[in-house]
Chain A
Amino acid sequence: MIVKIVSKNFEIPNAHRLEVARANGRYTSLSKLFSMTPNAVICEVEQSLLRGKGGGGALTGEKWRLIPTDGDKPSYLVVNADESEPGTFKDRQILEFDPHLLIEGIICSSYAINAHHAYIYIRGEYVFWAKRMQEAIDEAYKEGILGASVLDSGYALHVTLHRGGGAYICGEKTALLESLEGKRGHPRLKPRGKEPEWFFGNPTIVNNVETIASVPFIITEGFGAYLAYGTEQSPGTMLFGISGHVERPGVYELPYGVKLIDVIEKTCGGIKDGKKLKAIIPGGSSCQILRADEIENITLDYESLKKHGSALGTGGIIVMDESVSIPKAMKNLFEFYHHESCGQCTPCREGTGWVDNILGKILEGKGTPQDMQTILDACDMLNGKTICVFAPSVAFIAQSYIEKFKEEFEALIH
């Protein structure tokens, strides 16, 4: 099942070093890139139907079109390496094993949107990976791959790595930009229509690390080669990270459309210690939970997961066996959301805390029959009344835990 587009060089020793990276195909897309116009590059990416790998699955080419071509303001590319959605640990593989692939992707993407400076915003905890990435950037500058004229093409590009300070919400693109501007990471109000993002008032594109790392293949091999993998609406591949109760957790690059159950049973060696599967969170903790009896027909693509009432999200799959207490798992996640709410919107700041407290009370055996309804009421308050989608996703996941594992909560309430 495994396909190697983005992960092609992951197992090659020292592929993070420029010399080895180049010997294994890195930067070969650039001669073709510079023979194309930026518009032709966007067309290629549009036709590949490349979808963002940061959680939302937005079409990348369509998004790049939002950058005005006739404006007098400079444009920017910002690479989202914040990777803090619980259950997600894929971007770090690219940063660790193939940082030059990311730089190559940054060059292709920046060229397409006419940007001359790109920023990589990396989560503060990733100290080792930030060093790795910075070393690769330094090597690239030294060899003229970055700087005033990328490989003597006349196209100038600078790349700056920026470390975050440990705040989950800074993965949200507008909070990330606020943070990059030196402020608290507070998400911005959404505009009414379609617009690019704005970095100090300049048009900006924010893309996930893996999205950008998928671009060189599309440039070199053409959009048709990318469409050959995956499904019609979700073409290509994704780095799926599987954690929790499986025999072989890890990151596997798979084409979209593979069966979830096969990934667990075959790719990951089945449930740990021969136990039975109880539940799965399919795409990072912000996706609705699925019961074992719901997953038989699920395939790993945006459409199938949506149809089954959840989401593909970041591709971070958390597997739970029969021994797990779902109320306890839910409480664990609500501690996370309570801690990570940026605090701008009262329903989110207070609501996440209430739910966390009520769950704590239920787990201590002090719950009352009214508590479940109170949680659902709090969800109503979280949904649709806040600046960013953090609160609504929290509401949806809470509802899914309570609806799907009602008996377990009730059993704790005497």
Chain B
Amino acid sequence: MNAFTFTPENEAKFLALLERYLQKSSLTLPSLWMVQYQEGWISTEAMKYLAQKLDCSPMDIYSVASFYTMFNLKPVGKYHIQLCKTLSCMLRGSEQMSHHLEKKLGIKVGETTKDMKFTLTHVECLGSCGTAPCMSLNDDYVENLTLEKLDDIIDGLKS
């Protein structure tokens, strides 16, 4: 038996989406997103569940899920900080922001704090180069970053 099933809301969304695509396979990415919002990450059980729903093998789902960097194949912290490291952000001080975050959170880039509160990742250009440096905090962008801004945000989330 699968440990994962869609919530009734996601199931309804899934059925509505079926109407909008020519073939079921197009629902792979939308379904992975629904799983990730439901569970915070994408487990093997969830992939097996999706394979059944989309008439393909679990390996097909894994192959797609692992191709796209935004799908978490292991749990991440409650607050996922994704700092842009690409050129325009580097020119505007992203390296300094990165060091500051590592020090402040006591973890290295790519790690999660022991209490599962924060994950720090480096990502490539977020499309906010004009308001660099930039990061995304869960689903929200924080732009024109400064050390003070970072302190305010992290202190706020810690307390």
Per-position contact with B for A125-138: 1 when CB-CB < 8 Å, else 0? Answer: 11110000000000
Tell me, rounded to whole Å, the shortest Cβ–Cβ distance linking A336 to chain B.
5
Interface-centre pick from A168, A182, A320, A335 (highest chain B CB count, 10 A): A182
CB distance A87 to B131 under 8 Å?
Answer: no
Q: How many A-B residue pairs have CB under 8 A?
A: 142
CB distance B124 to A318 under 8 Å?
Answer: no
- Chain A residues closer than 8 Å to B30, beta-carbon distance: 162-163
- For residue A183, CB closer than 8 A to chain B, the reply is yes
- Chain A residues closer than 8 Å to B70, beta-carbon distance: 124-125, 165-166
- For residue B109, CB closer than 8 A to chain A, the reply is no
Tell me, rounded to whole Å, the shortest Cβ–Cβ distance linking A9 to chain B.
19
Partner of A183, one of B25, B27, B88, B92: B25
- For residue B116, CB closer than 8 A to chain A, the reply is no
Contact stretch, chosen from B7-15, B99-107, B136-144: B136-144
- For residue A185, CB closer than 8 A to chain B, the reply is yes
Per-position contact with A for B94-114: 1 when CB-CB < 8 Å, else 0? Answer: 000000000000000000000
Interface-centre pick from B27, B86, B87, B131 (highest chain A CB count, 10 A): B87
Partner of B85, one of A87, A92, A243, A332: A332
Tell me, rounded to whole Å, the shortest Cβ–Cβ distance linking B49 to chain A.
16
Q: How many residues of A contact B (CB 8 A)?
A: 56
- Chain A residues closer than 8 Å to B86, beta-carbon distance: 86, 285, 332-333, 336
Query: When chains A and B are docked, how far (Å) is the Cα of A298 from the Cα of B34?
Result: 48
- Chain A residues closer than 8 Å to B154, beta-carbon distance: none
Partner of B63, one of A85, A184, A333: A184
CB distance B20 to A244 under 8 Å?
Answer: no
Partner of A332, one of B90, B123, B130: B90
Beyond A86-B87, A127-B140, A158-B20, whether A165 also contacts B130 by CB under 8 A is no
Across the interface, name the chain A residue whose C-beta is closest to B56.
A182
CB distance B127 to A89 under 8 Å?
Answer: yes
CB distance B127 to A123 under 8 Å?
Answer: yes
CB distance A182 to B64 under 8 Å?
Answer: yes
- For residue A105, CB closer than 8 A to chain B, the reply is no
Partner of B129, one of A89, A123, A160: A89
- For residue B1, CB closer than 8 A to chain A, the reply is no
Majority DSSP secondary structure for residues of A touching B: mixed
- For residue A312, CB closer than 8 A to chain B, the reply is no
Query: When chains A and B are docked, how far (Å) is the Cα of A339 from the Cα of B33?
Result: 22
Query: When chains A and B are docked, how far (Å) is the Cα of A271 from the Cα of B67?
Result: 39
- For residue A327, CB closer than 8 A to chain B, the reply is no
Query: When chains A and B are docked, how far (Å) is the Cα of A199 from the Cα of B86?
Result: 32
Query: When chains A and B are docked, how far (Å) is the Cα of A325 from the Cα of B90?
Result: 11
Which residues 144-181 of A sit at the B interface, judged by CB distance below 8 A?
A: 158, 160, 162-168, 179-181
Query: When chains A and B are docked, how far (Å) is the Cα of A86 from the Cα of B85?
Result: 10
Tell me, rounded to whole Å, the shortest Cβ–Cβ distance linking A298 to chain B.
20
Which residues 59-106 of B sit at the A interface, judged by CB distance below 8 A?
A: 63-64, 67-71, 85-88, 90-92
- Chain B residues closer than 8 Å to A164, beta-carbon distance: 29, 68
- Chain A residues closer than 8 Å to B87, beta-carbon distance: 86-87, 244, 281, 285, 318, 329, 332-333, 336
- For residue A67, CB closer than 8 A to chain B, the reply is no
- For residue B43, CB closer than 8 A to chain A, the reply is no
Tell me, rounded to whole Å, the shortest Cβ–Cβ distance linking B20 to chain A.
5
Per-position contact with A for B1-27: 1 when CB-CB < 8 Å, else 0? Answer: 000000000000000000011111111
Query: When chains A and B are docked, how far (Å) is the Cα of A318 from the Cα of B131?
Result: 13
Tell me, rounded to whole Å, the shortest Cβ–Cβ distance linking A24 to chain B.
24
Which residues 175-226 of A sit at the B interface, judged by CB distance below 8 A?
A: 179-185, 199-200, 202
- Chain A residues closer than 8 Å to B146, beta-carbon distance: none
- For residue B51, CB closer than 8 A to chain A, the reply is no
Across the interface, name the chain A residue whose C-beta is closest to B82.
A125
Query: When chains A and B are docked, how far (Å) is the Cα of A199 from the Cα of B22?
Result: 9
CB distance B130 to A241 under 8 Å?
Answer: yes
Per-position contact with B for A308-351: 1 when CB-CB < 8 Å, else 0? Answer: 00000000101010001000010011011001100000000000
Across the interface, name the chain A residue whose C-beta is closest to B139.
A127
- For residue A107, CB closer than 8 A to chain B, the reply is no
Can you report 13 residue pairs joining A to B where beta carbons are below 8 Å apart?
A84-B127, A123-B127, A162-B30, A163-B33, A165-B33, A165-B67, A181-B25, A182-B23, A184-B67, A244-B91, A285-B86, A318-B87, A336-B87
Residues of B within 8 A of A (CB): 20-30, 32-33, 54, 63-64, 67-71, 85-88, 90-92, 123-132, 136, 139-141
